[in-house]
């Protein structure tokens, strides 16, 4: 059929609106260059979604089994849906407004649009060099210049013995911020969050594992990469490194949204001998459903729950105690994160926490300064 009256409107890197005419139907969207609209984003599936004509001359959107979902007005698709002018569409985090020749677009795309959703398709120019300061230096960093890592001990709550290290990304590039948070903000603006996460992990495991043979290494993941094939391929590579690292993948709370995806994740990790932990438990929603249906090896209680727990109300203490008991009954190991005072550690031990992490038992140490543990006595 000929050109349609429909458009997809997106936000370019410089804040200008970019219009993508839907020339024909069906109209495919995804990461592969062969799509009608190809979007450079690691979070998108190769063929993510498709726009189709319905029987009444309208427009349908169909998700093609994507990993990270297609959303209409922030509701995830579970079946084909008829669209209206000015609907807001998200293909993973790539945001568009659907517009029509006869219906003017109204309002901003988001209020305000976040850097994460400023996606640029392959038929639009790349991000402006002026959009992200020090973009060239950031790309140098991803290639290894200034890459660094720190490690924080995780210890037995009762005996204090070292049980694991959590790997933390760091930056020593002279022209970039040292804070991982700021680096991930830059990565979000450049649509390279998964790349940054993988670079931190690869560098850190390679540097840390030979120094701590036999000690588990907790590694962080970004929600955009957690369920991707590329992530599992990277884990295979890490397992083959010198030192044969024992990996524990920390699954961020924001990535845990569906039981079936978590069940598949757990099975895939098990198949390669990698354990997993639920991170930041209790920071947002408790995720009790996922915890019960797909128990993790370790459940890390968020430091916001642990901080000053000894001074908390009786009701909060009872709630935390009940959560710890539930975690234990599911066969998982409860870990108290952010422990800074002996009084906090004492009540955590009393509540049944088995592992502790925090400044009380060990601050992060740069991996290149880390000394291998001495012989046992």
> Which pLDDT value is given to residue 306?
94
> Which pLDDT value is given to residue 108?
39
* Cα–Cα distance, 176 to 84 (Å, whole number): 44
> Which pLDDT value is given to residue 16?
60
* Cα–Cα distance, 328 to 249 (Å, whole number): 19
C-alpha distances (whole Å) from 279 to each of 60, 167, 249, 309 are 38, 13, 9, 18
> Which pLDDT value is given to residue 201?
96
Greatest Cα pair distance in the chain: 80
End-to-end CA distance of the chain: 79
> Which pLDDT value is given to residue 278?
93
* Cα–Cα distance, 228 to 225 (Å, whole number): 5
Q: Omega of the bond prior to 26 within 30 degrees of 0, cis?
A: yes
> Which pLDDT value is given to residue 124?
32
In sequence order, the 6+-apart residues with CB closer than 8 A to the CB of 287 are: 253, 256, 278, 281
- pLDDT under 70: residue ranges of the chain: 1-2, 11-17, 102-133, 254, 256-257, 283-287, 372-377
* pTM of the complete model beyond 0.85: no
In sequence order, the 6+-apart residues with CB closer than 8 A to the CB of 133 are: none
List pLDDT tens digits, range 209-235.
999 998 999 999 998 899 999 999 999
């Amino acid at each position: 059929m000929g050109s349609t009256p429909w458009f997809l409107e997106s936000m370019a890197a410089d804040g200008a609106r970019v219009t993508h005419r839907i020339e024909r139907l069906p109209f495919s969207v995804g990461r592969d260059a062969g799509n009608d609209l190809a979007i450079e984003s690691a979070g998108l599936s190769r063929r993510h979604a498709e726009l189709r004509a319905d029987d009444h001359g309208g427009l349908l959107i169909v998700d093609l089994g994507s990993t990270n979902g297609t959303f209409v007005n922030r509701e995830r698709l579970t079946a084909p849906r008829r669209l209206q002018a000015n609907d807001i569409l998200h293909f993973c985090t790539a945001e568009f407004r659907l517009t029509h020749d006869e219906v003017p677009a109204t309002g901003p795309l988001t209020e305000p649009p976040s850097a994460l959703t400023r996606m640029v398709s392959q038929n639009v120019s790349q991000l402006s060099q002026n959009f992200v300061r020090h973009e060239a230096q950031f790309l140098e960093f991803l290639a290894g210049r200034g890459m660094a890592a720190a490690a924080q001990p995780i210890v037995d709550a009762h005996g204090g013995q070292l049980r694991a290290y959590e790997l933390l990304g760091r930056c020593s590039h002279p022209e970039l911020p040292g804070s991982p948070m700021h680096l991930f903000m830059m990565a979000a603006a450049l649509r390279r969050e998964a790349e940054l996460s993988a670079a931190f992990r690869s560098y850190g495991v390679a540097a840390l594992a030979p120094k701590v043979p036999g000690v588990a290494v907790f590694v962080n993941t970004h929600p955009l990469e957690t369920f991707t094939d590329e992530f599992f391929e990277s884990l295979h590579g890490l397992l083959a490194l010198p030192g044969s690292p024992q990996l524990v993948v920390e699954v961020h709370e924001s990535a845990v949204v569906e039981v079936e995806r978590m069940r598949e994740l757990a099975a895939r990790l098990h198949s390669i001998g990698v354990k997993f932990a639920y991170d930041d438990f209790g920071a947002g929603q408790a995720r009790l459903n996922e915890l019960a249906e797909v128990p993790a090896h370790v459940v890390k209680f968020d430091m916001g729950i642990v901080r000053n727990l000894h001074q908390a109300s009786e009701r909060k203490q009872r709630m935390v105690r009940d959560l710890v008991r539930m975690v234990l009954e599911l066969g998982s190991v409860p870990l108290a994160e952010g422990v800074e005072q002996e009084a906090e550690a004492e009540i955590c031990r009393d509540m049944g926490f088995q592992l502790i992490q925090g400044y009380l038992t060990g601050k992060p140490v740069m991996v290149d300064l880390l000394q291998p543990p001495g012989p046992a006595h």
